[in-house]
């Protein structure tokens, strides 16, 4: 468009003709209008999202400690991205794959795996993304059902900052991937304009949620309730039919996957979708009863309770009260159902089951509080209201006030732990020890939380075995015809200690293994154990013989006048606490001239093991190079893996796990 100044001289323009905005101004106008309409909401929402992102990501590498489930989902996402396969082992339909496909999409698009030396942290970064999206959707959902901006922000903050939420949102669970889709489904289901598109989007979102984590199917009746209740009467049959058909088609896609792979029904030598569903719904071991203090059910609920008892109590109470509030009734009834479903006889309670309930508990707490405040405000303004309603509002406000007071010290203590604790240090230290001391051709039975890291470190993929697969995967059994005896090491974590007992092979590996390095304590303890393929009895006999030989040689070496050592070192020699290769080297060096040796210290993780790092100092004017030459001439059996010169001498370090019978 030409401007007025660019028009020909004979062109006239009416003095009252409207002046059209320039293209840049026309493009800016919708944005300015949108900001004017939503500016106040953004001022409330954006700080909440910032708080959620900071709380979820701060020290996510340190707390909580990595667990086996995280490693499994991250390894499956890694396999999609790096191997072009649905899983790092045989995919057996225990969960639909859409959850870790989304994690893989995130890590591929952002390059997350390349930014971390620990693969699980790439998955945790993805959890931050999904959680922030879920917080935003929860805020918008709260506004959609009529809550004030303050109440919507309270719901979002409870969902983002509760220690119970932080614990589970940081952990790589498929439930965290499914939650934004479930919230989006309820949000779309409340559409009033363009209802057909909204209901179709609700069905698609819910389908993705279920294919991310199958337990989210429990929300279907309540999503349908919302859609039926809000559907326009003139188009209800049409819109609900389209939405139902779309949901069925999405569900059939999973069945089609199994059919295309020929794994729909059980058969010899193959996994099947039917077996996976049967396991999840029928044959999985029960979690026991809340009344049994030794049951998995009791342990799971106790963990939730210790993290945030206030939100649990307030959320349960809000669920009951919410049943009587029209605008949140379907969600409140769903929460009551989800809580009751936990207590079904003989059922299995997944540890992350609470993740599905957290956003709706936060929403109901905010909704009931918002209704109570409105009721009290109406009373103050002399508007109509029942006496029971006003009394209930007073009670609820009092309860939430007490809860708010209780939350401050509880949340402060718990969140400080998330921000400052380094619970994953034992896992990192164990991986470092394995990398430095275990030959790369060894076969390891490990917690899945370190599977990707060890493969990236140079261990063959087939030699890093997720402990759960030793007895359950046909491909692994084929590679290990002798079972646990074909492995060299087993790394024990809390997951292995609690879940490994269900595997005969893992029990045998634990019973016939010896700790060679240990890191951490309590639930965070991680042990590297050398498997004794000849059995624990023979291993004990060999260990006693080696200890006796070391003690005898050590006492003889301690009498050598050319070996200048303290009483502490002399006692370590007599006790057989010094590596046999180191004693042979010391004997050879002392034969060539006097040497002194500093008091030995255990290497990290080896407080109960042999001293295998010594600082050797020549006492007769010999140079460090002379010492190194003598050591190099002893051959590979006795040579240290590291010989680092110092100002005065040489720090020699021998590899872990000396050969048995070296001293005869």
Report which of residues 24 and 329 the model is more confident about: 329
Tell me the mean pLDDT in the region 4-26: 50
Q: Give the model's pLDDT for residue 394.
A: 84
Which residue, among 99, 298, 338, 112, has the nearest Cα to 208 in the 3D structure?
99
Tell me the mean pLDDT in the region 361-369: 96
CB 332 within 8 Å of CB 325: yes
Q: Give the model's pLDDT for residue 23.
A: 60
Q: Give the model's pLDDT for residue 240.
A: 94
| pLDDT > 70: percent of the chain | 93
Tell me the mean pLDDT in the region 20-45: 72
Average pLDDT of the chain, as a whole number: 90
pLDDT at 439 over 60: yes
Q: DSSP readout, 292-321? A: -TTSHHHHHHHHHHHHHHHHHHHHHHHHHH
Q: How far apart are CA 430 and CA 118, in angstroms?
A: 13
Tell me the mean pLDDT in the region 627-655: 85
| Burial of 478 per CB tally in 10 Å (0-12, 13-18, 19+) | exposed
Q: What is the pLDDT of residues 178-221, one digit of tens each?
A: 999 999 999 999 998 889 999 999 999 999 999 999 999 999 99
Question: Measured over all CA atoms, what is the biggest interatomic distance in the chain, rounded to whole angstroms?
Answer: 119
pLDDT at 13 over 60: no
pLDDT at 654 over 60: yes
Element (H, E) at 338: helix 329-342
3-state SS of 624-645 is: HHHHHHHHHCCCCCCCCCEEEE
Q: How far apart are CA 210 and CA 250, in angstroms?
A: 10
Q: What is the pLDDT of residues 344-354, one digit of tens each?
A: 988 899 999 99
Which residues, in sequence order, are CB contacts of 409 under 8 Å at separation 6+? none
| pLDDT > 90: percent of the chain | 69
Domains of the chain, by residue range, sit at 38-420, 425-533, 554-653
Which residue, among 440, 467, 437, 464, has the nearest Cα to 452 in the 3D structure?
464
Report which of residues 662 and 60 the model is more confident about: 60
Q: Give the model's pLDDT for residue 17.
A: 52
pLDDT at 14 over 70: no
pLDDT at 4 over 70: no
pLDDT band at residue 423, thresholds of 50, 70 and 90?
A: very high
Q: How far apart are CA 110 and CA 45, in angstroms?
A: 25
CA–CA distances in Å: residue 93 to residues 30, 89, 209, 288, 648: 48, 12, 16, 25, 62
pLDDT at 7 over 60: no
Q: Give the model's pLDDT for residue 84.
A: 95
């Amino acid at each position: 468009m030409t401007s007025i100044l660019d028009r020909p001289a004979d062109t006239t323009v009416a003095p009252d003709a409207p002046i059209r905005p320039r293209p840049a101004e026309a493009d800016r106008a919708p944005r300015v209008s949108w900001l004017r309409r939503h500016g106040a909401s953004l001022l409330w929402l954006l700080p909440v999202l910032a708080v959620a992102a900071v709380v979820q990501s701060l020290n996510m590498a340190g707390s909580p400690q990595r667990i086996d489930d995280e490693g499994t989902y991250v390894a499956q996402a890694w396999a999609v991205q790096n191997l072009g396969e649905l899983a790092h082992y045989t995919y057996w339909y225990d969960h639909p794959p859409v959850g870790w496909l989304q994690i893989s999409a995130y890590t591929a698009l952002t390059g997350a795996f390349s930014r971390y030396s620990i693969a699980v942290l790439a998955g945790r970064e993805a959890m931050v993304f999904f959680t922030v999206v879920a917080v935003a959707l929860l805020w918008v959902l709260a506004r959609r059902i009529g809550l004030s901006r303050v109440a919507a922000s309270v719901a979002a903050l409870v969902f983002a900052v509760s220690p119970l939420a932080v614990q589970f949102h940081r952990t790589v669970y498929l439930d965290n991937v499914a939650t934004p889709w479930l919230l989006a489904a309820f949000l779309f289901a409340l559409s009033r304009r363009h209802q057909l598109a909204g209901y179709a989007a609700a069905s698609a979102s819910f389908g993705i949620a279920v294919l991310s984590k199958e337990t989210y199917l429990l929300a279907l009746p309540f999503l349908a309730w919302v859609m039926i209740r809000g559907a326009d009467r003139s188009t209800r049959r049409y819109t609900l039919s389209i939405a139902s058909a779309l949901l069925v088609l999405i569900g059939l896609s999973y069945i089609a996957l199994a059919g295309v792979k020929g794994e729909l029904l059980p058969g010899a030598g193959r996994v099947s979708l039917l077996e996976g569903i049967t396991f999840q719904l029928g044959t999985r071991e029960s979690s026991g009863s809340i009344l049994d203090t030794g049951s998995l059910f009791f342990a799971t609920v106790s963990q939730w309770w210790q993290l945030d008892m206030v939100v649990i109590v307030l959320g349960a109470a809000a669920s009951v009260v919410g049943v009587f509030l029209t605008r949140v009734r379907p969600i409140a009834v769903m929460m009551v159902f989800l809580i009751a479903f936990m207590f079904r006889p003989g059922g299995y309670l997944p540890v992350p089951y609470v993740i599905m309930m957290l956003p709706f508990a936060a929403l109901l707490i905010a909704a009931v509080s918002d209704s109570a405040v409105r009721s009290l405000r109406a009373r103050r303004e002399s508007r109509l209201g029942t006496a029971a309603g006003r009394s209930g509002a007073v009670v609820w406000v009092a309860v939430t006030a007490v809860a708010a007071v209780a939350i401050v010290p509880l949340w402060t203590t718990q969140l400080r732990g998330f921000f400052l604790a380094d619970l994953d240090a034992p896992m990192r230290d164990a991986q470092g020890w394995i990398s430095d001391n275990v030959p790369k051709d060894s076969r390891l039975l490990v917690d899945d939380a370190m599977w990707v890291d060890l493969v990236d470190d140079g261990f063959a993929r087939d030699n890093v075995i997720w402990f759960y697969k030793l007895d359950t995967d046909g491909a692994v059994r084929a590679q290990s015809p002798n079972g646990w005896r074909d492995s060299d090491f087993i790394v024990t974590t809390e997951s292995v200690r609690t879940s490994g007992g269900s595997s005969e092979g893992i029990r045998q590996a634990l019973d016939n293994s010896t700790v060679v390095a240990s890191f951490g304590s309590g639930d965070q303890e991680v042990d590297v154990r050398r498997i004794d393929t000849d059995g624990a009895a023979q291993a004990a006999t060999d260990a006693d013989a080696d200890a006796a030989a070391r003690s005898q040689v050590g006492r003889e070496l301690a009498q050598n006048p050319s070996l200048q050592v303290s009483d502490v070192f002399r006692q370590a020699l007599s006790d057989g606490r010094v590596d046999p290769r180191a004693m042979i080297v010391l004997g050879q060096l002392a034969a060539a001239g006097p040497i002194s040796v500093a008091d030995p210290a255990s290497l990290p993780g080896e407080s109960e093991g042999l001293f295998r790092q010594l600082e050797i100092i020549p006492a007769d004017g010999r140079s460090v190079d002379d010492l190194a030459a003598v050591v190099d001439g002893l051959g590979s059996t006795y040579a240290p893996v590291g010989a680092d010169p110092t100002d005065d001498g040489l720090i020699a370090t021998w590899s872990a796990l000396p050969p048995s019978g070296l001293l005869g």
